[in-house]
């Protein structure tokens, strides 16, 4: 079949038809729109498509061949010749992240090598093979009914969430879920949200401002978010990470949970629960979802970015009934719904048991890395206090008082080790001793050992 070309002939312009065609072909070749070696339509096909005579097109091809723009051999299609074009300026792109030869302890990312590619490919193939034709149409903006039912059952079983399929909205990751909730809260009359400090204050503030809300930081201590400070903030919504506070790793204490929910009832407020790494627990029993204690006051957000891979861009929210209409409408306006085939693939992955099997493998691997990190610290920097390791795949290292956090990070980078400070996650300089956030989700065991050994003196403050 002949290739198609997007050319237009203006019969009212006064320019000759052959001249117009020659100029457009010449410009397309010079500009790189037609690459060297690319096959052109036959003169008959191009003439029919543009409403021209075949002889005119043949004359045009002959002229451009004479000029060196086209090549042709007997019995073969006319093709674009290799034509020198003005060199484009070199494209300068920043690296995705600093390169660290020895180890990179970046946080917030799972082991991308563990992404269950074969299982995901199997699920997509099965969906494409068995799904009805209607599955390839525009679906419910709130998400595939099948996935919402599967997720509701999964969340009830694993996270003690109180939910039905009708309370779920499938989203394109956590960021979209939060954005939808914020806009729904604005429509519900809430104009300020509180955010844990340290935490994702900057990004949440940006999203809140975009939704028409203000944002205020509230401190976190060893029991989780400070509810008394929340009370003083004047906010009627708060974003929390109760199961494993980001980034300190503390668990919201039982008495604080009750205080937080009482605050929400007293102020007709809403608690947004980010359940970002709930699947990964090691030496303590899982902590149930806050939403299960008061489904009318808590919106729970979840995602597969940590459990499977960020690239899948699939998440969900579970919301009180009064917010659901606004959330579904917001999702429809934003993108008419998340990719339908991917939703069905995730539902199949969970129903088949392959999702749970993958989580068991991943949990075992992260537990092994956790032990490697503790062993390496005990061997090379025995005086360092480590917290936040009961769940997830990052740890908090408490540096000696007076240590310059930024200097440690800079000097570690010179040794090929990526370290990241907790100070940057505070809205103001913290009063506590300097701390580092050491992620080990995407850091192999051999790199963990080598990285700690390379910076042990920096961590201990002894050189």
Q: Which of 117, 176, 194, 458 lies closest to 317, judged by CA?
A: 176
**pLDDT score, position 2:** 46
Beta carbons within 10 angstroms of residue 332's beta carbon: 14
CB 25 within 8 A of CB 52: no
pLDDT in tens, the chain (463 residues): 345 677 878 887 778 888 888 888 888 888 888 888 888 888 888 888 888 899 988 898 888 888 888 888 877 788 888 765 555 555 655 555 557 889 999 998 899 999 999 999 999 999 999 999 999 999 999 999 999 999 999 999 989 999 999 999 999 999 999 999 999 999 999 999 999 999 999 999 999 999 999 999 999 999 999 999 999 999 999 999 998 899 998 989 999 999 999 999 999 999 999 987 777 777 666 678 999 999 999 999 999 999 999 999 999 999 999 999 999 999 999 999 999 999 999 999 999 999 999 999 999 999 999 999 999 999 999 989 999 888 888 999 999 988 999 999 999 999 999 999 998 888 877 767 799 999 999 999 999 999 999 999 999 875 5
What is the four-CA torsion angle of 99, 444, 365, 380, rounded to 10 degrees? -110
**pLDDT score, position 1:** 39
Query: For the whole model, what pTM was predicted?
Result: 0.80
Fold assignment, 103-110+361-460? 3.90.1150
Rounded Cα–Cα distance for residues 295 and 286 (Å): 19
Cβ-proximal residues to 154 (8 Å cutoff; 6+ apart), any chain: 350
Fold assignment, 115-352? 3.40.640
Rounded Cα–Cα distance for residues 65 and 79 (Å): 9
Same fold for the domain at 1-93 and the one at 115-352? no
Rounded Cα–Cα distance for residues 149 and 343 (Å): 12
**What are the domain boundaries of the chain?**
1-93, 103-110+361-460, 115-352
Two structure tokens written together for 96: 């995705």
CB 101 within 8 A of CB 318: no
Is the peptide bond between 452 and the residue preceding it cis, with omega within 30 degrees of 0?
no
Instruction: Answer positive or negative: Cα dihedral of 231, 235, 240, 246.
Output: negative
Q: Collapse the DSSP code of 18 into the 3-class scheme (helix H, G, I; strand E, B; otherwise coil) and give the result.
A: helix
Rounded Cα–Cα distance for residues 219 and 318 (Å): 26
**pLDDT score, position 307:** 92
Instruction: Answer positive or negative: Cα dihedral of 163, 254, 422, 460.
Output: negative
Instruction: Answer positive or negative: Cα dihedral of 174, 176, 179, 184.
Output: negative
Q: Which of 217, 178, 174, 223 lies closest to 196, judged by CA?
A: 217
Please, what CATH class does the domain formed by 1-93 belong to?
mainly alpha
Rounded Cα–Cα distance for residues 395 and 232 (Å): 31
DSSP sequence for 65-87: HHTTSEE--TTS--EE-----PP
Rounded Cα–Cα distance for residues 88 and 12 (Å): 35
Task: Tell me which residue has tokens 């409403």.
Answer: 51
Cβ-proximal residues to 26 (8 Å cutoff; 6+ apart), any chain: 64, 67, 69
Cβ-proximal residues to 312 (8 Å cutoff; 6+ apart), any chain: 120, 304, 305, 342, 346
């Amino acid at each position: 079949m002949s290739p198609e070309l997007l050319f237009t002939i203006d019969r009212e312009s006064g320019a000759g038809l052959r001249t117009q065609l020659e100029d457009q072909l010449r410009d397309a070749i010079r500009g790189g729109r037609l690459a060297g070696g690319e096959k052109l339509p036959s003169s008959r096909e191009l003439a029919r498509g543009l409403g021209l005579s075949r002889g005119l097109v043949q004359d045009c091809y002959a002229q451009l061949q004479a000029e060196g723009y086209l090549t042709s051999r007997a019995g073969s299609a006319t093709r674009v010749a290799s034509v020198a074009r003005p060199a484009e300026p070199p494209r300068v792109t920043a690296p995705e992240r600093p390169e660290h030869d020895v180890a990179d302890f970046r946080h917030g990312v799972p082991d991308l090598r563990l992404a269950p590619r074969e299982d995901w490919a199997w699920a997509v193939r099965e969906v494409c093979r068995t799904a009805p034709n209607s599955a390839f149409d525009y679906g419910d903006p709130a998400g595939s009914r099948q996935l919402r039912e599967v997720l509701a059952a999964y969340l009830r079983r694993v996270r003690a969430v109180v939910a039905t399929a009708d309370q779920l909205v499938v989203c394109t990751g956590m960021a979209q879920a939060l954005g939808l909730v914020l806009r729904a809260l604005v429509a519900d009359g809430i104009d300020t949200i509180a955010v844990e400090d340290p935490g994702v204050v900057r990004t949440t503030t940006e999203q809140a401002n975009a939704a028409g809300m203000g944002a205020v930081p509230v401190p976190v201590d060893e029991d989780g978010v400070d509810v008394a400070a929340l009370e003083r903030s004047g906010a009627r919504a708060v974003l929390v990470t109760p199961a494993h506070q980001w980034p300190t790793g503390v668990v919201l204490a039982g008495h604080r949970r009750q205080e937080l929910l009482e605050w929400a009832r007293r102020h007709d407020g809403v608690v947004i629960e980010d359940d970002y790494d709930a699947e990964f627990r090691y030496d303590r029993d899982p902590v149930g979802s806050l939403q299960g204690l008061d489904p009318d006051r808590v919106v729970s957000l979840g995602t597969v970015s940590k459990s499977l891979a960020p690239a899948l861009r699939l998440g969900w929210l579970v919301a009180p009934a009064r917010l659901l209409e606004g959330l579904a409408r917001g999702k429809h306006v934003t993108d008419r719904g998340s990719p339908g085939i991917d939703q069905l693939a995730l539902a199949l992955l969970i129903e088949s048991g392959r999702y749970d099997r993958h989580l068991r493998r991943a949990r075992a691997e992260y537990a092994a890395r956790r032990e490697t990190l503790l062993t390496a610290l005990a061997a090379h920097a025995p005086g360092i206090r480590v917290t936040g390791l009961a769940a997830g795949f990052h740890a908090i290292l408490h540096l000696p008082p007076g240590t310059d956090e930024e200097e440690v990070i800079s000097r570690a980078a010179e040794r090929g080790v990526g370290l990241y400070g907790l100070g940057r996650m505070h809205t103001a300089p913290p009063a506590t001793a300097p701390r580092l956030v050491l992620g080990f989700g995407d850091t192999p065991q051999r790199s963990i050992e080598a990285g700690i050994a390379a910076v042990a003196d920096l961590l201990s403050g002894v050189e």
